[in-house]
C-alpha cells in the first residue's frame, strides 16, 4: 500500500493554498504534517481525501488516481478523523461506529459481518462500554475515540487525522496518539500536528509546510532543526533530546531575543550555582556572558538554553590557558563580573584568578559567598579570596543580594551616561 | 442493543393497533354516526351492518364508506406524507425547524391554487394539479438558486427557500386581493382541509405518495449519514449532492401531492418527527415508518375534530393541528430541554 502525492496545487478564491506538493507514504509509516496556521495543512488532507479537488497534480492510492474513484471507493480506502465532531442527532455510539460500514454496505441493511467489524473497531479503541450512550454525553477524548472507531470500521488503508488531539488534555492526547501509533504499523497514517514535540515523539517522518510549500520532509531529527523552525514559525528554539525516547525535543525561548543594549554582566560559575542568576539576568534583558564552564556542567546547559555567550571547556579537564584568556577577553567587555559560590578545585582555580584580573582591569566584581564548604584547593582559595577582598571586591550573601547590587551598578551606569550627555 | 430493538418493535405494534383503532372509531364519529351524530345518529347495530356488508344500499352506507372512509384514508395519506417529508427535511437540513414546506412547497402550491382561482381554470382536479405544479416549480427554483458551482450548500438552500417563500406569498396575497370572488374558498384552502376527499382523490394521491415514501425509506441509511454533516458524509462514501437531490425530489413529490389535495396543513410535518425521535431514536430506518404511522393517526383525529367540533360547519384542519400540536410540542420542549433531536 502506498500513497503518492505528485505535484498537487490547490487554489481557492484566486489564492494559492497548496503549491506543488509532492511526497509519498507507505504502509507502516506515520507522517506528521506541521506548519503555521494557514499553511495549507488541512487543505492538503482534504485534497488527499478528494473532498477538495486539486487543480494540478495527482494523488495515487496504489497506482489508482483518486480522481477516478467514486466516493464509495475512496471511503473504502480512507478514514478521516477531524479535529472535533458534533453530531446533532441523538445516535448511540454503536450506531455512529456502524455508520463507518456505509461504504461497504450495498443493500438496505447491515450484515452480521458489519456488526462484527463494528464491535472489533470499538474494542480496539476502547469504546465498547460507551455503546449505548449518545455522542453529546461523551467527553472530548471519548468522542475522538468514537470517531476513530468509526474510521476504523471503514477498514481503511489510509487514516487521515486533522489535529486529533488539539482540544484534549495531556492524558487523552497520549491515549489517542498511542492508539493511532499502534494502528500505523499496518496502514498509512497522516496526521496534522500543532504540537511539535508530540509529532516528534510519535511520527516516523515529518513534513513542515510554510506558505503552501513543503519546507522540509524526512526523519524528525532532520526536519526539526532550529533553522527550519525559525524559518517556518519564526520562533527561536533549542532542540534537545527527549530523555525517554531520544527523539528531538523542542524548547522555545521564553523571552524574545531582542538586541540587548543594557550593561553586560559576566558570570563566573559552575555546578549549577549560576543557574538562578543567569535566568534572572537574561529575563531582565541584560547582556550576559559566562565562563569558563565544562561542557557537561549544568550551568553550561543553562547558559546554552538562555542563549548566553559562554566559554566551554572539555568535560572534566582543567581550564586551559587558552580558555582562560578567552574568558579574560569576555571579562574585558563586561561592565560587572559576578563570581558565584561554586566548589573550587585545582581544575577551575583559574576562574577565581580571572576574577582577580577583572579587579585589576578596574571592573567591579561581586562575590557570592555562602557558608557552604567548597574549598578543594588545600587553602589556595582562601588566599585568593583574601586578595579579592584587598582589591575591593563586593561580597554578598546570596543571589538576590547580588542581583540588587548589579541593579545599583545599572542605575549608576545610566546616570553616568546621562551626565556625559549633559556635559556634551 | 437487542433490548432497544425489541422495544422499537413494540412501538410499531402499538402504532399499528392505534391506527386501526383510529380508523374504526373515527368512522363512527360525525353526523349520522353512532357517536356524536346528534338527533340523526344511528345505532351501533346499523353501523355494524354497514361494516360487515349486511347493509348494502342505504344512504347511511354511502356516507360511512364513500364519504367518511375515503376522507379518513386521505387524511391518513396526507398525514403520512407530511410526517415523512418533515422527517426527511429535518435530516437533510440537520435542522429541527425544518418542515415539509421549507423548500418552498407550500408557497409554490399557494400560488398555483391562487392562479387556478384567479384565472378561473376549471377541469377535473384543476386546483390540485395547478397547486402541485406550483409546488414543484418553487422547489426547482429554490434548488437552482442555491446551486453555486454545481454544489448546493444546505444553508443557502434554507435561506433561498425562505426568500422564495416570502416572494411567492406576496404573489398569492396579490392574487387574493385581485380575485375578490371565491376568496373564501382560497383562504380555506390555504388553511388546509380534507373536504376534497373522495375515493377518486385517494386513488390519485396514493401512487405518488407510496412511491415517494418507499423511495425515501430506501435512502434511510444515507439520511442517517447525512445528518453527520457534509464532510463526514463524504468521507463515509456518500455522494452528498446526488443523495440530497434525490431526497429533495422525493420529498417534493410526496409533500406536493399532499398539499395539492389538502392545502397547507401545518405542524404535522414539524412535530411528528420530533415526537417519534423521542420514542424510537434518530435512526431513520425506524424513525421514518414510525413518523409515518404517527402522522396518519394524528391527522385522522385532527380531521375528525375539524369536521365535527362545530358541525355542520367544518373548521380548517390546520387550525386543529396547530391548536393541539403547538402546546404539545412546547410541553415536549420544556420536558426535554434542548434534547429533541
Residue A253 has pLDDT above 50, yes or no: yes
Q: How would DSSP label each residue in B182-217? A: THHHHHHHHH---TT--HHHHHHHHHHHHHHHHHHH
* B85, B119 contact by CB (below 8 A): no
Nearest to B239 among A71, A92, A105 (CB): A71
Domain assignment of residue B302, yes or no = yes
Closest CA to B188 of B314, B321, B102: B314
Q: Residue for cell digits 481503511?
A: A156
Highest mean pLDDT: which of A292-296, B144-148, B286-290?
B286-290
What is the predicted pLDDT for the residue at A158?
Answer: 95
Beta-carbon contacts below 8 Å between A and B: 80
Inter-chain touch A82–B218, beta carbons under 8 Å: no
Closest CA to B153 of B93, B66, B112, B237: B93
Closest CA to B260 of B127, B81, B75, B84: B127
Instruction: Report the CATH number that the domain containing residue B301 is assigned in CATH.
Output: 1.10.3470.10
Nearest to B282 among A71, A89, A100 (CB): A89
- Domain housing B284: 33-50+58-64+79-336
Q: How does DSSP classify residue B65?
A: I
A86 to chain B: which residues are within 8 Å by CB? 229
Domain assignment of residue B25, yes or no = no
Distance from CA of B156 to the nearest CA of A (A): 19
**Half-sphere exposure in the Cβ direction for A136 (13 Å, CA):** 11
Summarize pLDDT for B14-26 with one digit per residue, the tens: 999 999 999 888 8
Domain assignment of residue B96, yes or no = yes
What is the predicted pLDDT for the residue at B129?
Answer: 84
Domain assignment of residue B4, yes or no = no
Q: Cα–Cα–Cα angle for B63, B68, B70, nearest 5°?
A: 115
Give me the phi and psi of A200, to 5 degrees please.
-65, -35
What is the predicted pLDDT for the residue at B294?
Answer: 94
B341 to chain A: which residues are within 8 Å by CB? 88-90
pLDDT band at residue B159 using 50, 70 and 90 as cut-offs: confident
Residues A254 and B51: their CA atoms lie apart, in Å, by 89
Residue B72 has pLDDT above 90, yes or no: yes
Domain assignment of residue B27, yes or no = no
B231 to chain A: which residues are within 8 Å by CB? 51, 80, 82
Prediction pTM value: 0.79
A105 to chain B: which residues are within 8 Å by CB? 221
Domain assignment of residue B13, yes or no = no
Total H helices, total E strands in chain A: 15, 18
Domain assignment of residue B74, yes or no = no
pLDDT band at residue B1 using 50, 70 and 90 as cut-offs: very low
Residue B247 has pLDDT above 60, yes or no: yes
Closest CA to A228 of A193, A191, A218, A256: A218
Span B113-126, average pLDDT: 79
What is the predicted pLDDT for the residue at B234?
Answer: 93
Looking at chain B, which residue has its C-alpha nearest residue A83? B232
Residue B293 has pLDDT above 90, yes or no: yes
Closest CA to B339 of A137, A141, A129, A95: A137
Inter-chain touch B283–A132, beta carbons under 8 Å: no
A162 to chain B: which residues are within 8 Å by CB? none
Beta strands of A121-245 (E only): which ranges?
158-162, 188-192, 205-210, 213-218, 237-241
What is the predicted pLDDT for the residue at B181?
Answer: 64
All cell numbers assigned to A158:
489510509
All cell numbers assigned to A316:
572534566
Summarize pLDDT for A329-379 with one digit per residue, the tens: 999 988 899 999 888 888 888 899 999 999 988 889 999 987 777 788 888
Residues B90 and B103: their CA atoms lie apart, in Å, by 11
Mean pLDDT, chain B, integer:
84
Distance from CA of A80 to the nearest CA of B (A): 6
Domain assignment of residue B21, yes or no = no
Residue A422 has pLDDT above 60, yes or no: no
- Return the C-alpha torsion angle A224, A229, A235, A238, nearest 10: 30
Number of domains chain B contains: 1
Inter-chain touch B228–A99, beta carbons under 8 Å: yes
Nearest to A99 among B231, B234, B236 (CB): B236
User: Which of the residue ranges B149-163, B202-216, B276-290 would you say has the lowest mean pLDDT?
Assistant: B149-163
Interface of B with A in 198-227 (CB under 8 A): 218, 221, 224-225, 227
- Residue B249 touches chain A, beta carbons under 8 Å: no
Looking at chain B, which residue has its C-alpha nearest residue A46? B231
Residues A172 and A178: their CA atoms lie apart, in Å, by 10
Q: What ipTM does the predicted assembly reach?
A: 0.84
Inter-chain touch A51–B235, beta carbons under 8 Å: yes
Amino acid at each position: 500500500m502506498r500513497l503518492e502525492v505528485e505535484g498537487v496545487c490547490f487554489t481557492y478564491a484566486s489564492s494559492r493554498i497548496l503549491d506543488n506538493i509532492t511526497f509519498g507514504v507507505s504502509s507502516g509509516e506515520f507522517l506528521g504534517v506541521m506548519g503555521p496556521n494557514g499553511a495549507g495543512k488541512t487543505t492538503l488532507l482534504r485534497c488527499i481525501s478528494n473532498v477538495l479537488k486539486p487543480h494540478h497534480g495527482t494523488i495515487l492510492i496504489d497506482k489508482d488516481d483518486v480522481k477516478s474513484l467514486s466516493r464509495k471507493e475512496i471511503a473504502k480506502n480512507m478514514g478521516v478523523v477531524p479535529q472535533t465532531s458534533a453530531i446533532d442527532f441523538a445516535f448511540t455510539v454503536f450506531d455512529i461506529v456502524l455508520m463507518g460500514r456505509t461504504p461497504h454496505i450495498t443493500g438496505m441493511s447491515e450484515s452480521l459481518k458489519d456488526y462484527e467489524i463494528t464491535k472489533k473497531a470499538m474494542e480496539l479503541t476502547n469504546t465498547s462500554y460507551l455503546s449505548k450512550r449518545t455522542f453529546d454525553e461523551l467527553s472530548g477524548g471519548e468522542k475522538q475515540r468514537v470517531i476513530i472507531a468509526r474510521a476504523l470500521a471503514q477498514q481503511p488503508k489510509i487514516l487521515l487525522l486533522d489535529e486529533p488531539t488539539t482540544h484534549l488534555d495531556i492524558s487523552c492526547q497520549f491515549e489517542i496518539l498511542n492508539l493511532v501509533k499502534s494502528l500505523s504499523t499496518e496502514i498509512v497514517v497522516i496526521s496534522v500536528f500543532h504540537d511539535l514535540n508530540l509529532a516528534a515523539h510519535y511520527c516516523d517522518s515529518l513534513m513542515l509546510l510554510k506558505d503552501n510549500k513543503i519546507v522540509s520532509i524526512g526523519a524528525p531529527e532532520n526536519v526539526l532543526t532550529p533553522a527550519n523552525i525559525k524559518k517556518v514559525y519564526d520562533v527561536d528554539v533549542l532542540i534537545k533530546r527527549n530523555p525517554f525516547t531520544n527523539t528531538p525535543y523542542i524548547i522555545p525561548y521564553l523571552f524574545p531575543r531582542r538586541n540587548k543594549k543594557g550593561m553586560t554582566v559576566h558570570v563566573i560559575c559552575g555546578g549549577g550555582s549560576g543557574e538562578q542568576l543567569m535566568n534572572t539576568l537574561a529575563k531582565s534583558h541584560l547582556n550576559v556572558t559566562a565562563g569558563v564552564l565544562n561542557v557537561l556542567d549544568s550551568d553550561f546547559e543553562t547558559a546554552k538554553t538562555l542563549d548566553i555567550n559562554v566559554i566551554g571547556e572539555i568535560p572534566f579537564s582543567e581550564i586551559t590557558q587558552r580558555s582562560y584568556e578567552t574568558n579574560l577577553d569576555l571579562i574585558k567587555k563586561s561592565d560587572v563580573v559576578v563570581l558565584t559560590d561554586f566548589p573550587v578545585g585545582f581544575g577551575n582555580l583559574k576562574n577565581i584568578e580571572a576574577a582577580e584580573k577583572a579587579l585589576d582591569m578596574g571592573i567591579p566584581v561581586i562575590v557570592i559567598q555562602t557558608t557552604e564548604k567548597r574549598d578543594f584547593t588545600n587553602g589556595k582559595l582562601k588566599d585568593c579570596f583574601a586578595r579579592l577582598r584587598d582589591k575591593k571586591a563586593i561580597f554578598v550573601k546570596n543571589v538576590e543580594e547580588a542581583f540588587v547590587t548589579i541593579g545599583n551598578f545599572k542605575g549608576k551606569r545610566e546616570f553616568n551616561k546621562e551626565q556625559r550627555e549633559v556635559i556634551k | 442493543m437487542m433490548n432497544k430493538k425489541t422495544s422499537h418493535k413494540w412501538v410499531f405494534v402499538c402504532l399499528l393497533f392505534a391506527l386501526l383503532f383510529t380508523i374504526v372509531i373515527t368512522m363512527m364519529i360525525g353526523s349520522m354516526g353512532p357517536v356524536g351524530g346528534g338527533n340523526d345518529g344511528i345505532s351501533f347495530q346499523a353501523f355494524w351492518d354497514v361494516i360487515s356488508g349486511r347493509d348494502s344500499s342505504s344512504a347511511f352506507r354511502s356516507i360511512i364508506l364513500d364519504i367518511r372512509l375515503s376522507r379518513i384514508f386521505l387524511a391518513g395519506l396526507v398525514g403520512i406524507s407530511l410526517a415523512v417529508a418533515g422527517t426527511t427535511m429535518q435530516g437533510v437540513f440537520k435542522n429541527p425547524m425544518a418542515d415539509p414546506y421549507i423548500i418552498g412547497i407550500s408557497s409554490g402550491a399557494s400560488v398555483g391554487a391562487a392562479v387556478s382561482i384567479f384565472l378561473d381554470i376549471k377541469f377535473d382536479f384543476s386546483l390540485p394539479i395547478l397547486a402541485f405544479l406550483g409546488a414543484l416549480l418553487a422547489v426547482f427554483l429554490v434548488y437552482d438558486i442555491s446551486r453555486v458551482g454545481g454544489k448546493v450548500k444546505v444553508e443557502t438552500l434554507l435561506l433561498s427557500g425562505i426568500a422564495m417563500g416570502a416572494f411567492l406569498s406576496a404573489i398569492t396575497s396579490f392574487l387574493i386581493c385581485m380575485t375578490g370572488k371565491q376568496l373564501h374558498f382560497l383562504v380555506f384552502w390555504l388553511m388546509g382541509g380534507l373536504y376534497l376527499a373522495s375515493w377518486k382523490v385517494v386513488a390519485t394521491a396514493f401512487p405518488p405518495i407510496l412511491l415517494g415514501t418507499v423511495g425515501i425509506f430506501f435512502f434511510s441509511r444515507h439520511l442517517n449519514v447525512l445528518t453527520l454533516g457534509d464532510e463526514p458524509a463524504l468521507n463515509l462514501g456518500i455522494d452528498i449532492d446526488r443523495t440530497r437531490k434525490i431526497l429533495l425530489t422525493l420529498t417534493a413529490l410526496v409533500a406536493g401531492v399532499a398539499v395539492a389535495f389538502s392545502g397547507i396543513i401545518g405542524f404535522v410535518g414539524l412535530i411528528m418527527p420530533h415526537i417519534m425521535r423521542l420514542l424510537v431514536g434518530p435512526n431513520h430506518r425506524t424513525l421514518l415508518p414510525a413518523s409515518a404511522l404517527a402522522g396518519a393517526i394524528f391527522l385522522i383525529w385532527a380531521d375528525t375534530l375539524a369536521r365535527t367540533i362545530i358541525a355542520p360547519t367544518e373548521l380548517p384542519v390546520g387550525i386543529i393541528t396547530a391548536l393541539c400540536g403547538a402546546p404539545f410540542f412546547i410541553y415536549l420542549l420544556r420536558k426535554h430541554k434542548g434534547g429533541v433531536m
